[in-house]
Copies of this chain bind each other. A is one copy, B any other.
Amino acid sequence: MQATKRMTVPETVLAVMRKTNELFHTEVVTKKNFDALDRIYTANARILPPGAPMVEGREHIKSFWKQAIAAMGATSVKLTTVDAEAAGDSVVEVGRADLTVAGGQVVTVKYVVQWKQEDGTWKWHVDIWNPNQ
């Protein structure tokens, strides 16, 4: 995706966001450590997955990812911030995820995440994605 950058988020915040995104790859998708989602999603986060109804609350989100990652045979994910815009106590991020699934196939999706601060870090508060194809 080519995108006009709005990037109104300080580098210090972007650095924390990159750490959160990296946790999703290393802990959740690679190691299947679903309790790491406590450090990734706010307690009352929402995800809006394609092909399924909205899921509310971190515990339900854990169940979703446990099932979805197993179903896809996902082993790795690369999250790339295309743009991030400050909005009050939130950040709105537009991004791209490249997910390696069963057989080594790479599935690319685009996403929008509303970030919020919780427990001294930045977490995903609303998370929606869809495929490019």
Binding site for B on A (CB under 8 A): 1-4, 44, 46, 48-54, 56, 82, 85-90, 92, 94, 110-112, 114, 126, 128-133
- The answer to whether A130 touches B49, judged by C-beta atoms less than 8 angstroms apart, is yes
A-B residue pairs, 10 tightest by C-beta: A88-B88, A50-B130, A87-B90, A87-B87, A130-B130, A87-B88, A112-B128, A1-B54, A92-B114, A48-B110
CA distance A114 to B128 in the complex (A): 12
Are B51 and A94 in touch, CB under 8 angstroms? no
Q: How far is the CA of A54 from the CA of B84 in the complex (A)?
A: 15
Nearest B residue to A90, CB-CB: B87
Specify which chain B residues have a CB less than 8 angstroms from the CB of A4 in the assembled complex: 44, 56
